[in-house]
Structure 1
Amino acid sequence: MTAWGALLGALAGAGLVLVGVRVRAIVRPPLSDRVLPWLRDLPALSSTSSPEPVSAAAGVFGPVLRSAAEMVERTLGGAASVRRRLERAGIDRTVHEFRIEQVVWGLGAFAVAAVWALLRAFADPSSIVASVVLCVTALVVGVLARDNRLSSQVKARERRMLEEFPTLAELLALAVSAGESPVVALERVVRRSGGEFSRELARVLADIRTGTPIGTAFDALASRTGLPMVARFAAGLAVAIERGTPLADVLHAQAADVREAGRRELIEVAARKEILMMVPVVFLVLPTTVLFAFYPGLLGLHLVTS
């Protein structure tokens, strides 16, 4: 009896020791969380970088979604274009992950169409073929809608970058004119600003801090952006740094060019929408003016004739 008690006590003690070791390992912050705050130019790892337990839904439907994503990739193709647009949109995903999103969007549209077809089938059972065609069409439209959404995200992000570009270029010119080096001026502007173009400059600054030459870092910015203005800015800045051209003059000229291009684009948009701008004048303002002009006369004639 004493031996059994000693054995159970030893097992209980070993279990408590294992639980304590595991709790200590869980509570202690990982090495990345303790080191990354001291690396000022490297982005902090998100919580998704650490391995997480896979849910049951992901374990069941994950292989199916991956197979469907591979089929979409084989059908649509254009992986290089998708990768380029993901980079321009600032979305940190692979092409395969984007294909999985397309499949999810398609399945969502298919589910909505299937529910509508099921409700319609109760009223009209003979419309099965039309319902199947509708569901397949909804699946295809959902897949293509995600691709169209990515293009919209690219355009929206590049529009915001163009709006931020003149101000940040002027700030860089001001810092350089004050006697700061390009790297210090870039660091000051990144620290004091926010936005899409500021994130791109922060990426350039991180590349420089990790040993990339300044000209090469700006050349990489010019190659990954889809805006000719930003590409010319990065290329001009790289050439100016390599050849010793005064940076302040280059930055002021770049900002002035972007502002002038924005004014020209605004004029062109107004010229293209001239007919649409006439619609409220013709159908709202003009009838109201005519009514106010002729109604008193009509009322006077009615009083005279009566």
Structure 2
Amino acid sequence: MSPLGALAGLLGALGALLVAAAWRGRRPTFAERVAPYLGGLRVAERPVPAGARLVATITGDLARGLDRLGSTAPSVRHRLAVLGSSLTLDGFRLEQVVWACLGLVAGLLLGGALSIARGFSPVLVLAVVALCGLGGALLRDRVLTRQVRRRRERIVAELPTIAELLALAVGAGESPVAAMDRVARGTDGPLAEELRRTLAELRAGSGLATALTALGDRIGLPQLSRFTEGLAVAVERGSPVADVLRAQAGDARESARQELMESGGRREIAMLVPVVLLILPLTVVFALFPGLAVLGSGLP
């Protein structure tokens, strides 16, 4: 058996073991399903299977390696909180393991094709497989970062509308909490989801200023932080909340306009790249080609 075939069999067996252990580890037992309804009764803990322990060990080793590459645990937790995902850090690391296994399979196929077509050495094939596996794990982190960036962009786009709706509701005589509840129930989007999370914290006993401050800190956007801080200060000091919300909506729209102008300026500069690198050289070639042809032919 060739070394490449043995490596393929080993990776296939490892991938099947990881998938089976992850599927089995996610299945709750009957005791775990009825535990919330038993009050203070103690339920015996389920023994951890060997496959789950193997998955936990591999996930921990991968997590420590990714921490050194920049995908740290606090960064992942913060991005998951911004995304509003129910996925935990361990679940995200497990997904990275799966993506790394997929990358290993892709690297194995690519390395095998290169070995057959070009006769690459096994060492180079193993390097390609390792790089593809690492790239799969890092790609999952990159996808999470892109999802967070898109969610923040949507929140920034929805902020002026949400602020104006809150101002209308407060101006109609409702309290800030009732206005937030009405807007959260009547709208859809990431900012409405964050408002619903804030309302859940208020129902759990948190203060309005504390919940609003937590909202701004959780998302990490300057525009949203200014909005929540202004609303919290207005509620605490008894300022006209409707006027403050209208002013915040105007500031949000002005900030969005400035960002749009900056984005247009960056795109305008990016549009010069094909002009300078493609169109301008072709224009110069077409302008000089007739004269160069005449000079090359030796005609008077």
| TM-score, scaled relative to structure 1 | 0.70
1:63 to 24, 44, 53: 53
Query: Which moved further from structure 2: 148-157 or 171-180?
Result: 148-157
- Tell me the alpha carbon deviations over residues 245-275 of structure 1, each in whole angstroms, 9 at most, x when there is no partner: 1111111111111111111111111112223
- Matched with 2:290 is none
Q: Give matches, 1:77-116, under 5 Å.
A: 77=67, 78-116=72-110
Describe the SS at the equivalent of 2:209: helix
Q: Give matches, 1:133-148, under 5 Å.
A: 133-148=127-142
1:170 to 160, 164, 167: 164
Paired letter, 2:60: E
- Matched with 1:159 is 153
Cα RMSD for the two superposed structures: 2.9
CA distance in 1, matches of 2:274, 2:138: 35
Paired letter, 1:70: G
Number of aligned pairs? 236
Task: Decide whether aligned partners of structure 1 residues 30 and 186 sit closer, same or farther in structure 2, where only a CA change above 3 A counts.
Answer: farther
Task: Decide whether aligned partners of structure 1 residues 237 and 126 sit closer, same or farther in structure 2, where only a CA change above 3 A counts.
Answer: closer
State the Cα distance separating 1:175 from its structure 2 match.
0.3
Task: Decide whether aligned partners of structure 1 residues 177 and 140 sit closer, same or farther in structure 2, where only a CA change above 3 A counts.
Answer: same
2:65 to 75, 88, 97: 75
Task: Decide whether aligned partners of structure 1 residues 160 and 127 sit closer, same or farther in structure 2, where only a CA change above 3 A counts.
Answer: same
Q: Give matches, 1:8-19, under 5 Å.
A: none
Task: Decide whether aligned partners of structure 1 residues 126 and 190 sit closer, same or farther in structure 2, where only a CA change above 3 A counts.
Answer: closer
| TM-score, scaled relative to structure 2 | 0.71
Task: Decide whether aligned partners of structure 1 residues 60 and 104 sit closer, same or farther in structure 2, where only a CA change above 3 A counts.
Answer: farther
State the Cα distance separating 1:31 from its structure 2 match.
10
State the Cα distance separating 1:280 from its structure 2 match.
7.8
Paired letter, 1:116: L
CA distance in 1, matches of 2:57, 2:135: 19
CA distance in 2, matches of 1:279, 1:81: 34
Q: Is the 8 A contact 2:114 2:120 kept in 1?
A: no
Describe the SS at the equivalent of 1:273: helix
2:271 to 277, 280, 293: 277
1:129 aligns with 2:123: yes
Task: Decide whether aligned partners of structure 1 residues 270 and 81 sit closer, same or farther in structure 2, where only a CA change above 3 A counts.
Answer: same
Task: Decide whether aligned partners of structure 1 residues 126 and 223 sit closer, same or farther in structure 2, where only a CA change above 3 A counts.
Answer: closer
State the Cα distance separating 1:218 from its structure 2 match.
0.9
Instruction: List alignment gaps of at least 5 residues for structure 2.
Output: 1-29, 38-45, 283-300
Task: Decide whether aligned partners of structure 1 residues 116 and 278 sit closer, same or farther in structure 2, where only a CA change above 3 A counts.
Answer: closer
State the Cα distance separating 1:177 from its structure 2 match.
0.3
CA distance in 1, matches of 2:89, 2:209: 29
Q: Which has the larger radius of gyration?
A: 1
State the Cα distance separating 1:156 from its structure 2 match.
0.5
2:216 to 199, 222, 231: 222
Query: Which moved further from structure 2: 256-265 or 75-84?
Result: 75-84
Q: Is the 8 A contact 2:161 2:249 kept in 1?
A: yes
CA distance in 2, matches of 1:150, 1:188: 31
CA distance in 1, matches of 2:117, 2:268: 49
CA distance in 1, matches of 2:188, 2:254: 23
- Tell me the alpha carbon deviations over residues 28-74 of structure 1, each in whole angstroms, 9 at most, x when there is no partner: x98989xxxxxxxxxxxxxxxxxxx9xxxx96753333212101222
State the Cα distance separating 1:125 from its structure 2 match.
5.1
CA distance in 2, matches of 1:67, 1:119: 32
State the Cα distance separating 1:206 from its structure 2 match.
1.2
Task: Decide whether aligned partners of structure 1 residues 61 and 125 sit closer, same or farther in structure 2, where only a CA change above 3 A counts.
Answer: farther
State the Cα distance separating 1:231 from its structure 2 match.
1.1
State the Cα distance separating 1:117 from its structure 2 match.
2.2
1:199 to 193, 204, 213: 193
